[in-house]
Amino acid sequence: MPADKITARTNEQVKLVKRLQRRKHREQTGLFSIEGVRIVEEALPTGLIRTLFFSPKLLESGRGESLLKKALAADFPVYECTEDVLGEMSQAVSAQGVLAVVEKPKWEFVPKGLFVVADEIQDPGNMGALIRTSLAAGAAGLIVTEGSVDLYNPKVIRATMGAVFYLPHWLYRRKEAVKVLKEGGIPIVAADLVNAKDYYTVRYPQNMAVVIGNEARGVNRLFLKEASDTVKIPLIGPVESLNASVAAGILLYEILRQQRGI
C-alpha cells in the first residue's frame, strides 16, 4: 500500500506531532514520538506505533528501505514527507528520515523479581541510561516517583535506545510505591552514603526493590525509613557521589551475581 504524502507544515498530522513535544499533551493523549531507524525498529514488533512519517533520506540505506517495507505492511498509517516537513516535526540533532507516533506501553504490576525505584531522577540522560541498564540486568520493572523527569521526554527516549518498550514501568507517588511494594512482600533496599553497609557485604533476596535517589538530594527519607537495608558504594577517590545510572549498574550486577550464584 503506497504511503500518503504530506508537503505542508500546517498539516494537522504535523501539528499533532509538534504538540507531543510538550509533556502536558503526552499525558493527555497517552502518546509520544520517537525518531531514528533503530528505535523505530525496536518499536515495530510491540504493536504500539500509531503513525509513521518518513522522508526520502530514509531510503538512502538498505536498512531504511527494509524498515519502510515492514511499516507499509503493518496496520497503521504511513506518510511520506518532504525533508522540510519532517524537519518541522523533528527534535533530533541529526535526523535519520523517520519518525513515529507511539502509544505509551502499559503493564500490570506483578510483585515478583528485582525492581528498581527511580526516586526523583531528573536528568533525562540518567533516566534513559537507568532504564537501559535495568533491562540489561534483568530487572522485573522500574517504579518512577513524582518529581522525576518524564519517561517519554525525547532525550530520555533516545538514551533508552528502545529499552523503554521492553522494561515494565509505573509512575507512583512515594507513599503509593511503598504500599505496593509492601503489599507484594517486596523488601526495599536504599542506596545511600549515610549509615549504610558496603553493597557487596549484603545478601540480597530474589524479590526486592533497590532505590536510586535524586542526583543532588539522594534517596527520600520515606524510602530510607521503610528500607530493610541501606547500602553504599565505597568512594575511594575525591568524589562526592556517582552518576545515578552508574551506581544502579554496580548494584544491579552485584545483585544479579549473587542471584545466579556466580
pLDDT at 261: 76
Look at residue 1 and tell me whether its pLDDT is greater than 60.
Answer: no
pLDDT at 224: 96
β-pairing verdict for 31-35 and 98-103: antiparallel
pLDDT at 122: 95
β-pairing verdict for 98-103 and 78-81: unpaired
Residue pair 116/248 in contact by the 8 Å Cβ criterion: yes
262 or 35, higher pLDDT: 35
CATH homologous superfamily, domain 114-260: SPOUT methyltransferase, trefoil knot domain (3.40.1280.10)
**Mean pLDDT of the region 61-68:** 96
pLDDT at 190: 96
Neighbours of 9 (CB within 10 A): 15
In order of 6, 85, 175, 179, 181, the CA distances from 226 in angstroms are 54, 51, 10, 10, 10
The domain segmentation of the chain, as residue ranges, is 4-103, 114-260
**Mean pLDDT of the region 26-44:** 96
Q: Where are the beta strands (DSSP E) in 104-223?
A: 114-118, 141-145, 169-172, 188-191, 197-198, 208-212
Query: Cα(20)–Cα(153) distance, rounded to whole angstroms?
Result: 9
**Mean pLDDT of the region 35-52:** 96
**What is the tens place of the pLDDT at every residue in 189-214?**
999 988 899 999 999 999 999 999 99
CATH of 4-103, one of 3.30.1490.20, 3.30.1330.30, 3.30.70.790, 1.10.1040.10: 3.30.1330.30
**What is the tens place of the pLDDT at every residue in 141-179?**
999 999 999 999 999 999 999 999 999 999 999 999 999
**Beta bridge mates, 155:** none
pLDDT at 2: 59
The pTM is what? 0.91
% of the chain surpassing 90 pLDDT: 87
pLDDT at 262: 63
pLDDT range class, residue 91, cuts 50, 70, 90: confident
H helix runs in the chain, sequence order: 12-19, 23-29, 37-43, 62-73, 83-89, 124-136, 154-160, 174-183, 221-226, 244-259
Per the document, the length of the chain is 262
